[in-house]
Structure 1
Amino acid sequence: MNNLRDWLEFLDRTKRLICLEGNIALEYDVLRYIEHFEGKQACFFSRPGGHEVPIAGGLLGQRQWVAELLELPVDQILPAFQRALKAPLEWNVVEQDSAAVHEVTHDKDIDLKRILPIITCHERDGGPYITSGLVHGLNLETGKQNLSINRLQVQGPDRLSILMLPRDLFAYYQAAEKLDKELPVTVTIGHDPVVELASQAIAPRDVCELTIAGALKQRPIDVVKSYTNDVHIPADAEIAIEGFIIPHKRVLEGPFGEFPKYYTGQDLLPYIRITCITHRRNPIYRVNNPSGIENVIIGGIPRESSILERMQLNFPNVLDVRLTAGGLGRFHLIVKIIKKQYGEAKNVIACAFGCHYDIKLVTVVDEDIDINDSEQIEWAIATRFQASRDLVIIQHGLGSKLDPSGDKRGLNDKMGLDATKYLGDDERFYVSRIPPSLGNVYDRLAKDSQSLASYLRS
């Protein structure tokens, strides 16, 4: 698998892609179809809104699909990400004119909506948004790059507003603004899905996520320098939007239906001045449902690996973690441990909150619980948790600014549940079971229901 097209062909061969024809409206309808089939089938729109550029969406609908993408068993996904975080692989630079993403160039009379089929997602959104753009930012102080997914609202033919949360790209922009300089960025759309996943890893500052993608693929990512700035981007991307984030200037952005399934309000945000758009000769425009299953998977799995790596440094007996779908792949974390000491689960809870500020609920369970099974997790809470002893509450901690239940400063209350068995009380928590037996339960299946019919007639 080398690019978006390879993945689409794979999904098609395995009967997990549907093609949609006709003039399906860019406003609402494209996302309506993607949301309907999400988790079951990916969608390919041949002429959305009458546009010549097709759209693809819903491409990572299940955790199992990620395992197939990486050619790994499902239980090896997080270890693979952990290895990649420890040993990033530097990229390989190719010539500008040889890159597929540079086959067609638009550097005059740029008009975003004429070139690209940009969709409007929700009924109250402030306008069309690019929802799957990977923003490659250049640190002017170190020359290093960062990769992130940011929401981008169309503000004009050659202008995109950008929401930057308090992470690496925002730090780059703050530093550039202090110097009264524009921040070079290039937005790419349509990639090998491994690059999308890597973009969400929690990596140290100035460790570019493209190098993590290379480590995941066990070969360097081919990159090419943008034409109008010094940012390097994946050479096999479908589309690239080059430009600069302007210092000290803001435009009105929003509302937008974000990943928690609620709208953010309007705010004044920085914007990108677009200097050039390049793309493949026949590009494919990638759409991500901002509040859908795919967004949970893309955001959740890389975060899980980073959180697990950090937690195991302090607690080697942490076996696995999972950011739940109900918690949107951000807010609710399940931690599986081999409990060894009294009070240890509460320390694990505190450690988890320190791994990422988005986390607001941590549930710690024993090694006998399948953390992919919500019923088993609920059973552990029901039978091993007492609020007066096992509940941890932290008031007014730093949380996600996109959590509608938090205050305007981004402060949230956080809760931890110790749903582990009590140490030294094995008999009390011995789980009832049917003793194992030789043979298969299907060995005694009758060929038909004749025995029932005979008994009822007797």
Structure 2
Amino acid sequence: MPQSKKARPKAGRARAPKSLGTYLDRIRHDPAEFRTVSRTANPMNFDVTAVLGHLDQRREYPTVQFSNPLDMHGKPSRFPIVTNLFGTRERCAEAIGLSRSQAGPQLGSLLCDRIDRKIRPVTVKNAPAQKNVLTGKKADLWMFPAVRHFEMDLGAVLTMGMIAKPPGEDFYNITFVKAFPESASRAGLTVHTLHMSRILREWEQRKERCRVAYVLGHHPAFWLGTLNNTPWGDNEYATCGGFLQEPVRLVPSVTWGKEFLVPADAEIVIEGEIVPGERTVVNPFGDISLQYQGQQLGPVMEVKAITHRDGALFQDIFSGHREHMLLGSIPREGTIYNHLRNRLGNVVAVHMPYSACARYTAYISIRKVEEGQAKNTALQALAHVPNLLAVVVVDDDIDVFNEEQVLWAINFQVDPSRDISLITNMRTPSDPRALGSTRVIIDATRPGHIAFPTRLRIPQSALERVNLGEWLDAAKGDAQ
């Protein structure tokens, strides 16, 4: 067994391959971005999510490291927990090499532009992620400080990403998958993406085990590279390289060698096999919709080996909160924007608001020229992103990132009998409300077919001419 909590190597950081540790080194100095908890935390008793919940209520979203958590056996864990990494748009922007000023409406589009900048992965012989190799009974899932997030959850859950490839193919798919450790060597899985579901189905149809690598920690750009709607057949290691702006370094797995490559710079890698035809109970789990996913049967992963770097960190996603929402909403905003820009050319901005858990509603602003454009825009968005339940389209003078302005447009520019459309019998998504397959389109653009009041505004020239710092007198107590 490796020694508990080895010091993380610091030499060579400047030119070291990107990892979770190299990213955290950039933000450790800023208490608004990074906080630590030194006291013993029991993640199975909601200590982790209670701390994050308090911060969320204060509208503070730092990355938090719990340095002394307990593992699932109730013993001190060697792995500090790092969570809430994706809690702000600014950190997501910086993670892929953009500036904080680019974290606004353009971030989703800039993120999606990286999809076409693929960088082929490279294979290495020596990997930090394999400094410590555990097999047999030592490959124990319960040695991890797995987090139980909410009071009705089935139990502790791993919330990061799983890697697999289809039979007879040589490309890798990476997607977020929840894993519920039911014993030291087995975990039930919940899989929600089309490509990963297809891969598991193809292996099961062959009655063969599906090899997988479950990765517990990597540079945030690596994860942001996995969240885009890439076509079947794309090697997502190459996509992640585009987001990292350097090749993803791969190493032969401990269990299958060169037949299955795993990330060399990950924190922790669980090598496992999914057993064909076998199912176990998974969920309930508090998910993105702020509701519990119902209990169901899910596939079973059997652990073959666990590897980790010295001083490895255990990464977790704070489900159903800002981090979880941003992880999905930013790439989807960019996907919708790019699709509408290419198909229609009139889109200005796209936002998926927190009020709909950043998944189920899209606010879209357009440069409207004629009636009917708003509905056509919304239909295109619904067809492109199947899990959307509602689309609101506004004029380009409405800031879709300001929900007050969007609601103003709905209240003052919408004739419900004309501007609200129900689209029935669309493909049913994973709708947490279980309300069926109807979608809602709201055309909240200014009506052009009738005489209609103009929205008031201060002249832009006046706003540009008046510098507030030059006009306001100094407040009492201000330094002279």
TM norm structure 2: 0.87
Q: Which amino acid aligns with 1:89?
A: I
Q: Where in structure 2 are the equivalents of 1:106-121 lying within 5 Å? A: 106-121=134-149
User: 2:82 matched to which residue of 1?
Assistant: 56
Change (3 A) 1:147 1:113: closer
For the residue of structure 2 that corresponds to 1:194, the secondary structure is helix
Change (3 A) 1:173 1:431: same
Q: Which amino acid aligns with 1:433?
A: R
Report the Cα offset of residue 86 of structure 1: 2.8
Q: Which amino acid aligns with 2:35?
A: I
For the residue of structure 2 that corresponds to 1:142, the secondary structure is coil
Tell me which of 212, 220, 227 is aligned to 1:193: 220
For the residue of structure 2 that corresponds to 1:249, the secondary structure is strand
For the residue of structure 1 that corresponds to 2:342, the secondary structure is helix
Report runs of 4+ in structure 1 exceeding 6 Å deviation.
none
For the residue of structure 2 that corresponds to 1:250, the secondary structure is strand
Report the Cα offset of residue 442 of structure 1: 4.3
Change (3 A) 1:22 1:446: closer
Change (3 A) 1:84 1:442: closer
Do 1:103 and 1:281's aligned partners in 2 also have CA atoms closer than 8 Å? yes
TM norm structure 1: 0.91
Q: Where in structure 2 are the equivalents of 1:293-308 lying within 5 Å? A: 293-308=322-337
Do 1:136 and 1:231's aligned partners in 2 also have CA atoms closer than 8 Å? no
Do 2:142 and 2:181's aligned partners in 1 also have CA atoms closer than 8 Å? no
Do 2:272 and 2:304's aligned partners in 1 also have CA atoms closer than 8 Å? yes
Report the Cα offset of residue 113 of structure 1: 4.2
Tell me which of 102, 112, 126 is aligned to 1:82: 112
Instruction: Give the whole-Å Cα distance in 1 for the aligned partners of 2:309 and 2:221.
Output: 19
**Structure 2 residues not aligned, in runs of 5+:** 1-16, 71-75
Matched, 1:248 2:269: no
Report the Cα offset of residue 441 of structure 1: 4.1
User: 2:73 matched to which residue of 1?
Assistant: none
Q: Which amino acid aligns with 1:10?
A: R
User: 2:63 matched to which residue of 1?
Assistant: 42
Report the Cα offset of residue 231 of structure 1: 3.0
Matched, 1:24 2:41: yes
Instruction: Give the whole-Å Cα distance in 1 for the aligned partners of 2:402 and 2:236.
Output: 31
**CA displacement, residues 10-61 of structure 1 (integer Å, 9 cap, x when unaligned):** 2212222111122211211112112322543221111112322111111121
Instruction: Give the whole-Å Cα distance in 2 for the aligned partners of 1:448 and 1:270.
Output: 64
User: 1:455 matched to which residue of 2?
Assistant: none
Identity %: 24
User: 1:160 matched to which residue of 2?
Assistant: 187
For the residue of structure 1 that corresponds to 2:437, the secondary structure is strand
Instruction: Give the whole-Å Cα distance in 1 for the aligned partners of 2:161 and 2:466.
Output: 53
User: 2:457 matched to which residue of 1?
Assistant: 433
Report the Cα offset of residue 293 of structure 1: 0.5
Query: Between Structure 1 and Structure 2, how many residues are aligned?
Result: 442
Instruction: Give the whole-Å Cα distance in 2 for the aligned partners of 1:442 and 1:263.
Output: 49
Do 2:272 and 2:303's aligned partners in 1 also have CA atoms closer than 8 Å? yes
User: 1:33 matched to which residue of 2?
Assistant: 51
Do 1:201 and 1:209's aligned partners in 2 also have CA atoms closer than 8 Å? no
Q: Which amino acid aligns with 1:44?
A: Q
Instruction: Give the whole-Å Cα distance in 2 for the aligned partners of 1:163 and 1:447.
Output: 58
User: 2:27 matched to which residue of 1?
Assistant: 11
Q: Which amino acid aligns with 1:351?
A: Q
Q: Which amino acid aligns with 2:89?
A: R
Instruction: Give the whole-Å Cα distance in 1 for the aligned partners of 2:319 and 2:47.
Output: 15
User: 1:180 matched to which residue of 2?
Assistant: 207
Tell me which of 396, 399, 404 is aligned to 1:367: 396
User: 1:456 matched to which residue of 2?
Assistant: none
Report the Cα offset of residue 392 of structure 1: 1.4
For the residue of structure 2 that corresponds to 1:6, the secondary structure is helix
Report the Cα offset of residue 447 of structure 1: 4.5
Report the Cα offset of residue 69 of structure 1: 2.2
Report the Cα offset of residue 114 of structure 1: 4.2
Change (3 A) 1:447 1:241: closer
User: 1:143 matched to which residue of 2?
Assistant: 170
Q: Which amino acid aligns with 2:388?
A: I
Change (3 A) 1:448 1:141: closer
Report the Cα offset of residue 142 of structure 1: 2.0
User: 2:232 matched to which residue of 1?
Assistant: 205
Instruction: Give the whole-Å Cα distance in 1 for the aligned partners of 2:249 and 2:114.
Output: 17
Report the Cα offset of residue 334 of structure 1: 1.1
Instruction: Give the whole-Å Cα distance in 2 for the aligned partners of 1:87 and 1:8.
Output: 25
Matched, 1:343 2:368: no
For the residue of structure 2 that corresponds to 1:118, the secondary structure is coil
Instruction: Give the whole-Å Cα distance in 1 for the aligned partners of 2:371 and 2:283.
Output: 48
User: 1:281 matched to which residue of 2?
Assistant: 310
Change (3 A) 1:192 1:391: same
Do 2:18 and 2:244's aligned partners in 1 also have CA atoms closer than 8 Å? no
User: 2:448 matched to which residue of 1?
Assistant: 423
Do 1:362 and 1:416's aligned partners in 2 also have CA atoms closer than 8 Å? yes
User: 2:197 matched to which residue of 1?
Assistant: 170
Change (3 A) 1:210 1:319: farther
For the residue of structure 1 that corresponds to 2:348, the secondary structure is strand
Instruction: Give the whole-Å Cα distance in 2 for the aligned partners of 1:313 and 1:188.
Output: 35
Instruction: Give the whole-Å Cα distance in 2 for the aligned partners of 1:104 and 1:213.
Output: 25
